Amino acid sequence: MRPIAALLLCTALTQPATAQTDLRAVTLSTAGVAMLQAEGQMDAEGLRLTLRRSDMNDFLKSLRLSDPAGATPRLTMPGPGGLEDAFATLPIPPEALSDLTALIAALQGAPATLTRRATIVTGRLIGTGATPCDDGRAGCVAVSLMDDAGQIVQIPLDDATTLVLQDATDRAALDTALDAVRAQGRANRVALRIDSADTSERAIGLGWLQPAPVWKTAWRAVDGPDGLALTGWAVVENTTGQDWDGVSLTLATGAVRALDARLYDRVDAPREKAPQFAPALAESAMARSFADAPMVEAAPVEMAAGTSFSAYTLSQPVTLASGQMLSLPFLQEQAATARLTLYRGGSFAPHPMMALEVENPLPLRLPAGVVTVYDDTRGHAGDAMMPELPPGDSALVEFAEDSAVTVREDRNERARIIEATVTDGVLVARERVEVTTSYRIEGAEDGARTVTLLHPRRGGWDMQTGGGTPELDATRFAVAVPQGQITTFDVVEARTTRTQLALLDLSTNDLAYWEGRVPTPETRALFADLRMLRAEQADLRAQIATLEQTEEDLIADQDRLARLIAQLGDDSGANMDRRARVDAIDAEIEAVREEKEALQAALQDADARMRAMVQ
């Protein structure tokens, strides 16, 4: 890797926000935090810092000090309660500062002097109440006092009235209240003091974390005859609240865990506490230098890497005012690459994509980011997204569509029984299912192509087509497509399933289905015999059902005639015919029952023959 000079798009020279500290280094992490390293002067008065209130939780969680004297440090600051805490010990509420009647009510009994024009009254405040105005209108307010003689005096409270508190304690309470309200206006800043028992003058080092936007990467990829010239540009923003004046800037990437610990906020309800020391950036090169040595400016580290992170320290100091952004290149490398015409199977896209297969040649992780691809023929070739790349890993960066090549994707499935056995009335069949995906590729008129086909891998399926390279979620094939010609490439996948069926539970249609699929003549003959027996059983059951219906009809007809004969109760010729018919029906019912019994016996025989056949 070759470090390159920082190109500052936005620069400013201003004094840092904290005069007693000198910001030396900043590490920006993709975890959304920034690590600041500074140097300050400690003396008998300690060292003072002013931080944003929103940064206090991370500051208290992560502050580390490097003191050459080895003294035990102390950190003091205002509490988070602010105005509420200040007024908790005062005799007046906050609203009394903007409402004179509320102030008098709060100071009831306090010695005071009221002056209105030529009238001067000294006594103790009783309170306020409504009183008629000088012009007779209602709505005015008067102050009641008890003077030294014990008289109750009322003086109108208007623009001409002056109130003087006689007790120094009351005046001090009012001063304190006003100071608290004034401080509340600056509540977004917290003044801190760091001191120790050692009052000698010395330089100490400080390091802490605070929230920061994630720094972003924008890659420039120039595809040329010598490979891919890859340049990474970082987009950073100074939201630390302090100006950067020649700081050492490190850009860290990795899956770093950063906890939001509420250490400065007041927490009244019991809950699970965050760890006292969060591990954010503990593995970065800047953090290790801070942990192992006194806080002085360390030699910059150009690159640092671990199993799950990488850090880039710019070779030149960075100057950037608070609230400004800059974009600058932070690495440049000639990466090994292959230019591909890429088609992803299963997408059913009409055209393949132009892609670069980028391999990370560095011993550190490359951060994810947008890639702008350039080439010598068209200039801007397209944009893409590049994932984070570990050392030695590669990624397919798709940046444009190759509309000169057309792809059509078809799928056909075929299944056949490769083995079938019958044991104890159970059919055990092994079925082989083959899926053929046909890729019909129509070549470009401007030249031949080699289409890189990524056919998706499916769990439980075996690849039958040779020549492919297995990858994590696909099998890669290289398909040569001549200029202007149509090429068909088939990808065959197969799997074998095992099916168990109880033959006695199969219907005639089921037996006919399996008869046409089993592989051996003996098994097909068995299914044919079973199918014929099942058909015979179905016919016998149908005949039995018909006879049962006939029997029910005869019995119903006989009952109807018997009721009619009983109702008429005569010996007419018609009734005599009815009696004869009742007797005849008895014989017909008996004949139907005999025929039904014969059919039921035949059905039982067929069932027995089927059971014997499948044993």
243: Cβ–Cβ under 8 A, 6 or more apart, which residues?
Answer: 12, 13, 14, 15, 16, 17, 23, 320, 321, 322
Confidence of residue 604 (pLDDT cuts 50, 70, 90): very high
Interaxial angle between packed helices 573-614 and 521-568, expressed in degrees from 0 to 180 and rounded to the nearest 10: 160
Q: Give the chain's mean pLDDT.
A: 83
Return the domain boundaries, the chain: 1-39+202-402, 83-184, 406-503, 509-614
Indicate if the pLDDT at residue 17 is higher than 60: no
| Integer CA distances (angstroms), 17 to 79, 129, 241, 245, 248, in order | 21, 51, 7, 11, 18
Indicate if the pLDDT at residue 261 is higher than 90: no
Kindly tell me the sign of the dihedral angle through the C-alpha atoms of 24, 30, 31, 32. positive
Indicate if the pLDDT at residue 4 is higher than 50: no
Q: Of 192-206, 298-312, 441-455, which gets the smallest average pLDDT?
A: 298-312
In single-letter form, the type of residue at position 121 comes to V
| Integer CA distances (angstroms), 360 to 52, 88, 119, 206, 345, in order | 40, 62, 90, 36, 26
Range picked from 155-169, 326-340, 343-357 for highest mean pLDDT: 343-357
Residue 306's pLDDT is 54
By percentage, how much of the chain surpasses pLDDT 90? 29
Indicate if the pLDDT at residue 8 is higher than 50: no
Put simply, whether the predicted model's pTM sits higher than 0.75 gets the answer no
Number of H helices, E strands in the chain: 8, 31
Tens digit of each residue's pLDDT (9 = 90 or more) over 195-240: 988 999 999 999 998 888 888 889 888 887 777 888 889 899 999 8
Beta strand 216-224 with 369-375 is parallel
How confident is the model over 78-100, as a mean pLDDT?
76
Tens digit of each residue's pLDDT (9 = 90 or more) over 533-553: 989 999 999 999 999 999 999
In single-letter form, the type of residue at position 68 comes to P
Indicate if the pLDDT at residue 48 is higher than 70: yes
183: Cβ–Cβ under 8 A, 6 or more apart, which residues?
Answer: 78, 82, 83, 86
In single-letter form, the type of residue at position 94 comes to P
Contact indicator for 324, 353 with CB cutoff of 8 Å: no
Range picked from 98-107, 273-282, 288-297, 426-435 for highest mean pLDDT: 426-435
Residue 483's pLDDT is 95
Residue 307's pLDDT is 54
Confidence of residue 186 (pLDDT cuts 50, 70, 90): low
- Residue from 245, 234, 208 nearest 321 by CA: 245
Indicate if the pLDDT at residue 68 is higher than 70: yes
State which CATH number among 2.30.30.520, 3.40.50.620, 3.90.230.10, 3.40.640.10 fits the domain covering 83-184.
Answer: 2.30.30.520
By percentage, how much of the chain surpasses pLDDT 70? 87
Q: ∠ CA 443-449-452 to the nearest 5 degrees? A: 105
Bridge partners of residue 224, in order along the sequence: 227
Q: Of 76-85, 351-360, 499-508, 603-612, which gets the smallest average pLDDT?
A: 76-85
